[in-house]
């Protein structure tokens, strides 16, 4: 279980691995392999993957909203089951927010996805940001109305502090100590 964790942008040829992680999560909406391949090529700057001992075990896909490029929209998050509970998803969000310098993070989550709600609530706490939840896509917006879709609520986290709270506080304490 212990291993060296590293975070980086995906390589353009790693889309298939993102698709496999999404498939194996059994929770995410599984898109076509092509969608993940395109993502790893064209949205790699707003996507992060986690390696444990050089094995790709997690990803966060995102994009800067064309209408508001200061907002980082997170599309999907997955961590291999064997690596969950180690803070990898949270650290991938931190990495992406820092790398893009986004002023806000948005995502949509269904009510039942407690892990995801906690992941984003915890990120908001670390960044000292407001976390608001509003309606976005209702079940009837999705194709087919047989009730197989759950409402996707829009979570918005803003304004973002530049770095996670602990790092900022540690720096503040260091500055105080040498003053």
Ligand X SMILES: CC(C)(COP(=O)(O)OP(=O)(O)OC[C@H]1O[C@@H](n2cnc3c(N)ncnc32)[C@H](O)[C@@H]1OP(=O)(O)O)[C@@H](O)C(=O)NCCC(=O)NCCS
Q: Under the rule (CB under 6 A), what is the footprint of ligand X?
A: 25, 27-28, 76-79, 84-90, 113-116, 118-119, 122
Nearest approach in angstroms of CB 22 to ligand X is: 8
Nearest approach in angstroms of CB 150 to ligand X is: 12
Considering all CA atoms of the chain, what is the largest pairwise distance in Å, rounded to the nearest integer?
Answer: 65
CA–chain centroid gap for 8, Å, is: 13
Question: Which residue's CB is nearer to ligand X, number 47 or number 177?
Answer: 47
Question: Which residue's CB is nearer to ligand X, number 163 or number 175?
Answer: 163
Nearest approach in angstroms of CB 44 to ligand X is: 18
CB proximity list for 140: less than 8 A, separation 6 or greater? none
Question: Which residue's CB is nearer to ligand X, number 88 or number 96?
Answer: 88
Nearest approach in angstroms of CB 176 to ligand X is: 26
Q: Distance between CA 172 and CA 8 in Å, rounded?
A: 28
CB proximity list for 34: less than 8 A, separation 6 or greater? 15
Element (H, E) at 153: strand 152-158
Question: Which residue's CB is nearer to ligand X, number 78 or number 104?
Answer: 78
């Amino acid at each position: 279980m212990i291993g060296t964790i590293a975070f980086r942008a995906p390589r353009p040829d790693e889309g298939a691995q993102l698709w496999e992680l999404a498939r194996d999560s059994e929770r995410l909406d599984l898109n076509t392999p092509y969608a993940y391949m395109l993502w790893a090529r064209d949205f790699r700057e707003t996507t992060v993957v986690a390696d444990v001992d050089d094995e790709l075990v997690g990803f966060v896909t995102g994009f800067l909203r064309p209408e508001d490029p200061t907002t980082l929209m997170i599309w999907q998050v997955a961590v291999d089951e064997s690596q969950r509970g180690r803070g990898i998803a949270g650290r991938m969000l931190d990495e992406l927010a820092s790398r893009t310098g986004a002023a806000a993070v948005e995502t949509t989550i269904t009510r039942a996805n407690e892990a995801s709600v906690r992941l984003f609530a915890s990120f908001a706490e670390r960044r000292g940001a407001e976390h608001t939840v509003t309606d976005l896509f209702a079940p009837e917006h999705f194709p087919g109305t047989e009730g197989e879709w759950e409402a996707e609520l829009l979570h918005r986290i803003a304004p973002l502090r530049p770095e996670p709270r602990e790092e900022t506080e540690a720096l503040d304490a260091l500055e105080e100590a040498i003053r």
